Amino acid sequence: MTDVRSFVTSYLRAIGAGAQPLPTGALAVRWPPTHAARFGEATTIAFDPLVAEASTAELCVVGSDLLDRIVADASGRGFHCVARVTAENEPLADDVLAANLKFPNARPSILAADRGLVPYLLFNFRVALVTDEKRELVKSVLLNAKTLEVHTAADVFLQDSLTIPEERNVSEANLAASYGAACGALERAILREVEPIRAKASAMLATELERINQFYETSIQELYAGRTQAPLETEKVFRAERDRRVDEAGRKYAFNATAKLVNARTILIPTTTLHLRLANERSSKDLDLEFDAINLETNRPSCDSCHTTTDVVYLCSRGHVACDACDRTCSFCDHVVCSTCAGEVLSQCEACIRKACPDHTFQDEIGRKTYCPDHIHACAICGRMVGPAYVKACGLCEQSYCVVDVETSGRCRTCRTLAAIPATHADVARATTAKGEPKNLTKWVRGENGKYTVLVGKGAIFQYLYVLDKGGATIRREKGVRLLGG
């Protein structure tokens, strides 16, 4: 809530009243001749009940008679004053940007930074929030008259010490648009105060309605239990009375918010406009931001999906801005899209429901379903991409392939086509290098595919199976009788 003291002292300066702070915290005011008839020649004003009591001063707080008269006078006079503020030692635009916004997946580059004296409009509103009780607020909204971006109404903007002769800095069309934008900003600003009041009123209404309904339902039941004459007529009276009281309760606890513009003023503020480019490996987007020299707060970009402002800005791979709530990331990489584009860019795995970008999404060439990298299988024999339902292990080498390349007997195509090789073959040497491996076998058969090499050495009794990976390392070894059958 805007400080009442700042508002009143600004008003006093605007009308030319003398104001002297007292040691007690009160304010001694000498009214100008134009206001003496309305307020008297002099008044001691206090902005705190304890100070007012101790100083025998007139209390000036929201809801007080004095503040009501001051607001009425300010509204009736309708002055529109212009002020100019200046700032020195303004920090670098890059530092202001870094202090206000975060870009988790993009690099911001300032293409241009234009600084100038820009007219702003400060609107002071008096807001009344009414249910069964009434609460009044004084709210200020400051916005750039050109871009309609809302800025923080710092205390310095409530001062009149830099007031200059009135100029026409804002056109009537912009003034109307600015007023509309200010009203929208005011609605957003009072939500924090509105929601608890509305919730409390709703709860009290529900309690009151339950009490009323219970009372009349009980009365009607007792009416019939007592065998009263003409119960139907009496019941109609009871129900009509209940409806009347329900209607009264609804009106009593109905929430209503009203706002009245107290005054408006133009303030010329040094403002920097940033032409910014966000970029990453997949996309880029240009943004226009601004910050004034007093607040040093950039305006927050709007999310392209939910249209709320955000200080954490994600760059969608299709060039959109996304907020924290609307960014969607691939489960396997840093590919980010907004919630609007997610349905077209990210695909859901049929096995684990995780969503992945096009680089990490694969289609089953048999079942035609979509899978992520963890649940798609690339057949080492034919290269076919298949899902879990179409993967089958070979009964000999025990490696997994697509069902097309594993026959019904359980052997894969590689193991069905093993060919004889000499014992001096390099793969035989790699497989039998370790201590304890059979080095005197003379009969070997071999087969290979794009991923594995299968070797079987035949001894007089035992046969030795080796499965090597592409690097020549043994990933499976088995010793048995009649491994090859027959």
How far, in Å, CA of 85 to CA of 8, rounded?
A: 20
Query: How many beta carbons lie within 10 A of that of residue 91, not counting itself?
Result: 11
Task: Compute the mean pLDDT over every residue in the chain, rounded to the nearest whole number.
Answer: 89
Task: Report whether pLDDT(276) > 90.
Answer: yes
| Residue 363, burial from CB neighbour count under 10 angstroms (0-12, 13-18, 19+) | middle
What pLDDT score does 71 carry?
A: 82
State the helix-helix crossing angle for 172-189 and 191-225, rounded to 10 degrees.
60
Residue-by-residue DSSP string for 43-55: EEEESSHHHHHHH
What pLDDT score does 307 carry?
A: 94
The token duo for 178 is 């600015």
Distance of CA 184 to the CA centre of its chain: 19
pLDDT tens for 429-456 read 999 998 889 988 999 999 999 899 999 9
What pLDDT score does 423 carry?
A: 93
What pLDDT score does 225 carry?
A: 82
Task: Report whether pLDDT(398) > 90.
Answer: yes
Task: Report whether pLDDT(55) > 90.
Answer: no
What percent of the chain lies above the pLDDT cut of 90?
60
What pLDDT score does 246 carry?
A: 92
What Cα–Cα distance (Å) separates residue 468 from each residue in 115, 384, 400, 410? 68, 21, 14, 20
pLDDT tens for 219-266 read 888 888 877 667 788 888 889 999 999 999 999 999 999 998 888 888
What Cα–Cα distance (Å) separates residue 202 from each residue in 83, 128, 256? 44, 18, 12
Higher pLDDT, 135 or 341: 341
What pLDDT score does 1 carry?
A: 36
Q: Beta 82-84 vs 256-279: how paired, if at all?
A: parallel
How far, in Å, CA of 132 to CA of 252, rounded?
A: 5
How far, in Å, CA of 266 to CA of 409, rounded?
A: 88
Name the pTM for this structure: 0.66
Q: Identify the CA nearest to 163 among candidates 71, 53, 84.
A: 84
What pLDDT score does 132 carry?
A: 87
- The pLDDT of 373-396, averaged and rounded, is 95
What pLDDT score does 365 carry?
A: 95
pLDDT tens for 291-340 read 999 899 999 999 999 999 999 999 999 999 999 999 999 999 999 999 99
What pLDDT score does 81 carry?
A: 56
**Strands ordered across the beta sheet of 463-468:** 419-421, 443-448, 453-458, 463-468, 474-480
Q: Identify the CA nearest to 129 among candidates 76, 72, 192, 83.
A: 192
Contacts of residues 441-450 at CB distance under 8 Å and 24 or more positions apart, as own/partner, are: 444/420, 445/418, 445/419, 445/420, 445/421, 445/484, 446/418, 446/419, 446/420, 446/421, 447/414, 447/415, 447/417, 447/418, 447/419, 448/414, 449/380, 449/381, 449/413, 449/414, 450/380, 450/381, 450/383
What pLDDT score does 77 carry?
A: 57
pLDDT tens for 171-225 read 555 778 888 899 999 999 999 889 999 999 999 999 999 999 999 898 888 888 8
- Asked whether the beta carbons of 238 and 253 are under 8 A apart, the reply is no
Domain positions in the chain are 1-79, 82-155+166-299, 359-405, 418-480
Task: Report whether pLDDT(34) > 80.
Answer: no
Banded pLDDT at 356 (limits 50, 70, 90): very high
pLDDT tens for 159-169 read 655 555 445 55
What pLDDT score does 268 carry?
A: 87
- The pLDDT of 133-152, averaged and rounded, is 89
